[in-house]
Chain A
Amino acid sequence: MQDIINIEDVNKTYKGGFQALKNIDLTIKKGEIFALLGPNGAGKTTLISTICGIVNPSSGSIRVNGFDIERDYRQTRSLIGLVPQELTTDAFESVFNTVSFSRGLFGKPANAAYIEQVLKSLSLWDKKDEPIMNLSGGMKRRVLIAKALSHEPEILFLDEPTAGVDVELRKDMWGLVHHLRQEGTTIILTTHYIEEAEQMADRVGVISQGEIILVEEKDELMAKMGQKQLVIHLAEPLEAIPYTFDEFDLSLEEDGANLVYSYDARGNRTGITRLLKRLSEHNITFKDLDTKQSSLEEIFVELVKQPS
């Protein structure tokens, strides 16, 4: 897949001396959905704002589709749509006018038919003449997305797109993101909802204290970092685990009814066959088997956990 954003050794230090970004190197591939995860204050919004031209980097270079974001800002910015985290809208303006305004800002000629299409895709068409201040928070969020899409961007930044929106709207947005990706739009989203990244992303980057600490294909990340557990539902509960099982990472749950084996999914030999054979040798029978994998959330918490 072709690269669309190349970030090389980018640093950002604010006037007060706070370093928000530290030696960031990151490449975003064309057409992918990239989820940038990180705790509050990690530098997610600063990184997005820097790429979009809102924040000046202290050093380093950022290229979008081969163009430098400072020297060739017209080319780079016209490729990008940004949905900010905050609900920042013109309270008194109508939905249609504010979206048309955004299209104009990005140098595109007026196109009422396209704006209509965008508003309809976001279920905003019946609100087109409504002043934005009359809309609910979820609707305002949709307006921000419509504004970001108004100039037909190739790259869409979604900074916490579903913060504070209801479940139905969140699912609508996920659908929209998938639809945009199918049309070839590259999507970079920051989120606190790990479920969102897990559902949507192709790749995941984790940023903590201004540093990118990991970039990985989501599935590979889960396979690599995911601790798997085999839950053995025993036919008869055990009071204790026999000492002959000490080599296995076992625990008893549900008053001894379940024997839980934790193993590393990355290993060639997981030890499952050996464990089952050993159970058979000790005449420990079971009714069922079940496996569980760590969620992205558990992986994320593990990654950003501060040393005590």
Chain B
Amino acid sequence: MNTPAIWAIYKFEMMRAWRTLGQSLASPVISTCLYFIVFGSAIGSRITEVDGISYGAFIVPGLIMFSILTQSISNAAFGIYFPRFTGTIYEVLSAPISPLEITLGYVGAAASKSMILGLVILATAHLFVPIEIKHPLIMLLFLALTCLTFAMLGFIIGIWADGFEKLQIIPLLVITPLAFLGGTFYSISMLPPFWQTMTLFNPVVYLISGFRWSFYEIADVNVGLSLLMITLFLGLAMGVIWWIFKTGYRLKT
């Protein structure tokens, strides 16, 4: 295992986030605060409770999940796309480093940044509403698995993209609608029966539901199913990355 190489990539990516702290941390935290103000205070004041939890507290897991989904993808996609764009990827490709080590470096850094962001948003949310975490270890497990899986998805997008526009297409046109429709701001039991069934085809439902369960022990779907789904997504993402390195797709000619 070329540990210095993994560390070099990881450190490089973390330093990049540090240099752009406003973009990587302040911006998503401010956005989340705005959601709290709009949904938690303005709209939330008219919705007293959901499944026995105050509306403000109810939306916290969904908001954290929403932020880390989009940020994991953006961080990892940009991390691998930028060296491809500038041409500095030649150095990684010519180094004595395996595909697994490259992935660990880039995806590990993107997932770490999202984890930190998730925890900062959690701390920020605590300033607005009282939060109880009934299963902190499971909460951390969901957080870590989601960050890792979506950082891998971002890594795949960063390799697939051939322009900056494509980097934004999946987070904006796919992930954001899925997160909004996946129970970030409501319980799917509040929907008519037809839409409840339709929503079960939205993979983000399982992530938000499982994550919310770790806080309040309330869930739209069984927590075991949520864990199974996130593990399946992780396996799928790993399979695609394995194929990318095996074929050299968009990396090698």
Contacts and interface: CB of A to CB of B under 8 A. Distances in A.
Interface of A: 14-15, 49, 52-56, 73-78, 80, 82, 84, 86, 88-93, 97, 100-110, 147
Interface in B1-47: 2, 4-5, 7-9, 11-12, 15-16, 19
Given A54-B252, A55-B252, A106-B5, A75 B87 contact: no
A106 B248 contact: no
**Interface pairs A-B: 9 shortest CB-CB:** A104-B8, A88-B87, A74-B96, A77-B96, A105-B95, A52-B94, A78-B96, A107-B2, A104-B4
5 contacts: A80-B94, A82-B91, A88-B90, A104-B11, A105-B9
A294 B9 CA distance: 50
A45 to B, nearest CB: 11
A88 B86 CA distance: 6
Contacts of A74: 2, 96, 98
Contact of B252 (A56, A84, A93, A105): A56
Contacts of B221: none
Contacts of B9: 105
B174 interface: no
Given A74-B96, A82-B91, 15 more contacts: A14-B253, A52-B90, A53-B93, A54-B93, A78-B96, A82-B94, A88-B88, A88-B90, A90-B83, A92-B19, A97-B15, A100-B8, A104-B4, A105-B95, A106-B95
B92 interface: yes
A147 B91 contact: yes
B87 A84 contact: yes
B97 interface: yes
Nearest to A92: B19
A90 B72 CA distance: 22
Contact of A91 (B86, B92, B96, B97): B86
B96 A75 contact: yes
Contacts of B95: 77, 105-107
Nearest to B93: A54
A76 B91 CA distance: 14
Interface string B140-180: 00000000000000000000000000000000000000000
B90 to A, nearest CB: 6
A253 B16 CA distance: 66
B248 A56 contact: yes
A52 B9 CA distance: 19
A21 to B, nearest CB: 12
Contact of A108 (B4, B94, B98, B252): B4
Contacts of B96: 73-78, 106-107
Contacts, number: 82
Nearest to B7: A104
Interface in B60-110: 83, 86-88, 90-98
Contact of A105 (B8, B15, B98): B8
Nearest to B83: A90
Q: Interface residue tally of chain B, by bracket?
A: 20 to 34
Nearest to A147: B91
A107 B88 contact: no
B69 to A, nearest CB: 27
Nearest to A131: B19
Given A73-B96, A77-B96, A56 B253 contact: yes
Given A53-B94, A77-B95, A107 B252 contact: no
Contact of A90 (B86, B90, B93, B252): B86
A73 B95 CA distance: 9
Contacts of A14: 253
Contact of B12 (A55, A56, A101): A101
A110 B11 CA distance: 13
Contacts of B88: 88-90
B45 to A, nearest CB: 44
A105 B90 contact: no
A169 B62 CA distance: 58
Contacts of A84: 87, 90
A54 B90 contact: yes
B5 A104 contact: yes
A97 B95 CA distance: 17
A106 B87 CA distance: 18
B94 to A, nearest CB: 4
Contacts of A107: 2, 4-5, 95-97
Contacts of A105: 4-5, 8-9, 91-92, 95, 97
Contacts of A109: 4
Contacts of A89: 86, 88
A101 B16 CA distance: 13
Nearest to B16: A92
B124 to A, nearest CB: 28
Nearest to A77: B96
Contacts of A76: 96
Contacts of A104: 4-5, 7-8, 11
Contact of B94 (A15, A77, A97, A103): A77
B244 to A, nearest CB: 14
B218 to A, nearest CB: 45
